[in-house]
Structure 1
Amino acid sequence: MNVPLWAWLAVLGVIVLMLAVDLFAHRKAHVIGVREAALWSAVWVAFGVGFGVLVWQLYGAEFGQQYFAGYLIEKSLAVDNVFIWAIIFTYFAVPREYQHRVLFLGVLGALVFRGIFIAAGSAIIASAGWVLYLFAAFLLFTGYRMIRQRNDHPEPEKSRALKLFRRYVPMTDNFHGQKFLVRKNGLVLATPLLAVLALVEVTDIIFAVDSIPAIFAVTDEVFLVFTANAFAILGLRAMYFLLADLIHRFIYLKIGLALVLVWVGIKMLLKIDIYYIPTPLSLGVIATILGVSIGASLWVTRGQERRAPAGPAHAPFGTATAAEMAELEPLWRRGPSDEKARSATSALGRDAGEPGPGERAGAERDGNPHAAEPDAGPRAPARDRRE
Structure 2
Amino acid sequence: METIANPWLWTVFFGLVLLMLAIDLFVVGGGKQHKVSVKEAAIWSLIWISVSMLFAAGLWWYLRDTVGVEIANAKTLEYVTGYLIEKSLAIDNVFVWLMIFSVFAIPPELQKRVLVLGVLGAIILRTIMIFAGVWLITQFHWLLYVFGAFLLLTGVKMWWAADKQPDLINNPLVLWIRRHFKVTEQLEGEKFFVRRQVNGRWVRYATPLFLVLVLVEFSDVIFAVDSIPAIFAITTDPFIVLTSNIFAILGLRAMYFLLADMADRFSLLKYGLALVLVFIGGKMMLIDIYKIPVAVSLAVVALIIGTSVVLSLRRSRIDAAKTDAAAR
* Length-normalised TM-score, structure 2: 0.90
Please give the residue correspondences for 1:93-242 in structure 2 after superposition, counting only pairs within 5 Å: 93-185=105-197, 186-242=202-258
1:113-162 alpha-carbon deviations (Å, 9 max, x no partner): 11111111111111111111100101111111111112111221121111
TM-aligned CA deviation for residue 299 of structure 1: 1.4
Q: Secondary structure, in 3 states, of the residue corresponding to 1:301?
A: helix
- Tell me how far apart the structure 2 counterparts of residues 154 and 54 of structure 1 sit (CA, whole Å): 42
1:332-351 alpha-carbon deviations (Å, 9 max, x no partner): xxxxxxxxxxxxxxxxxxxx
Question: Greater relative contact order: 1 or 2 (C-alpha under 8 angstroms, separation 6 or more)?
Answer: 2
1:149-184 alpha-carbon deviations (Å, 9 max, x no partner): 121112211211111111112222211111112221
Letter of the aligned partner of 1:111 in structure 2? I
Structure 2 residue 32 is the aligned partner of structure 1 residue 37: no
TM-aligned CA deviation for residue 270 of structure 1: 1.9
1:76-98 alpha-carbon deviations (Å, 9 max, x no partner): 11111111111110111111101
TM-aligned CA deviation for residue 55 of structure 1: 2.0
Letter of the aligned partner of 1:295 in structure 2? V
Structure 2 residue 313 is the aligned partner of structure 1 residue 291: no
Stretches of structure 1 that go unaligned for 5 or more consecutive residues are 306-387
Identical positions, percent: 49
Please tell me whether Structure 1 or Structure 2 has the larger radius of gyration of its CA atoms.
Answer: 1
Contact 2:4 2:239 in 1 (8 A): no
- Tell me how far apart the structure 2 counterparts of residues 18 and 266 of structure 1 sit (CA, whole Å): 35
- Tell me how far apart the structure 1 counterparts of residues 82 and 140 of structure 2 sit (CA, whole Å): 22
**In the alignment, which residue of structure 2 is the partner of 1:48?**
52
Q: Secondary structure, in 3 states, of the residue corresponding to 1:275?
A: coil
Letter of the aligned partner of 2:54 in structure 1? G
1:231-252 alpha-carbon deviations (Å, 9 max, x no partner): 1111111111111221112122
Q: Secondary structure, in 3 states, of the residue corresponding to 1:153?
A: coil
- Tell me how far apart the structure 2 counterparts of residues 2 and 206 of structure 1 sit (CA, whole Å): 29
Structure 2 residue 73 is the aligned partner of structure 1 residue 61: yes
**In the alignment, which residue of structure 2 is the partner of 1:7?**
9
Contact 1:176 1:191 in 2 (8 A): yes
Aligned-residue Cα RMSD (Å) equals 1.3
Contact 1:180 1:191 in 2 (8 A): yes
- Tell me how far apart the structure 1 counterparts of residues 59 and 152 of structure 2 sit (CA, whole Å): 30
TM-aligned CA deviation for residue 187 of structure 1: 2.6
Q: Secondary structure, in 3 states, of the residue corresponding to 1:302?
A: helix
TM-aligned CA deviation for residue 58 of structure 1: 2.5
**In the alignment, which residue of structure 2 is the partner of 1:74?**
86
TM-aligned CA deviation for residue 303 of structure 1: 6.8
- Tell me how far apart the structure 2 counterparts of residues 107 and 184 of structure 1 sit (CA, whole Å): 30
1:276 pairs with 291, 296, 299, which one?
Answer: 291
Letter of the aligned partner of 1:264 in structure 2? I
Letter of the aligned partner of 1:31 in structure 2? K
* Length-normalised TM-score, structure 1: 0.76
Q: Secondary structure, in 3 states, of the residue corresponding to 1:187?
A: strand
Residues 117, 172 of structure 1: alpha-carbon distance in 2 compared, 3 angstrom cutoff: same
- Tell me how far apart the structure 1 counterparts of residues 136 and 122 of structure 2 sit (CA, whole Å): 21
Contact 1:56 1:65 in 2 (8 A): no
TM-aligned CA deviation for residue 198 of structure 1: 0.6
Q: Secondary structure, in 3 states, of the residue corresponding to 2:286?
A: helix
Contact 1:84 1:154 in 2 (8 A): no
**In the alignment, which residue of structure 2 is the partner of 1:17?**
19
TM-aligned CA deviation for residue 45 of structure 1: 0.8
Letter of the aligned partner of 1:300 in structure 2? R
Contact 2:5 2:239 in 1 (8 A): yes
**In the alignment, which residue of structure 1 is the partner of 2:102?**
90
Contact 1:66 1:224 in 2 (8 A): yes
Contact 1:71 1:231 in 2 (8 A): yes
Letter of the aligned partner of 1:293 in structure 2? S
Q: Secondary structure, in 3 states, of the residue corresponding to 1:152?
A: coil
- Tell me how far apart the structure 1 counterparts of residues 241 and 319 of structure 2 sit (CA, whole Å): 37
TM-aligned CA deviation for residue 65 of structure 1: 0.6
TM-aligned CA deviation for residue 304 of structure 1: 6.5
Q: Secondary structure, in 3 states, of the residue corresponding to 1:121?
A: helix
1:300 pairs with 290, 293, 315, which one?
Answer: 315
Stretches of structure 2 that go unaligned for 5 or more consecutive residues are 64-71, 321-328
Contact 1:146 1:254 in 2 (8 A): yes
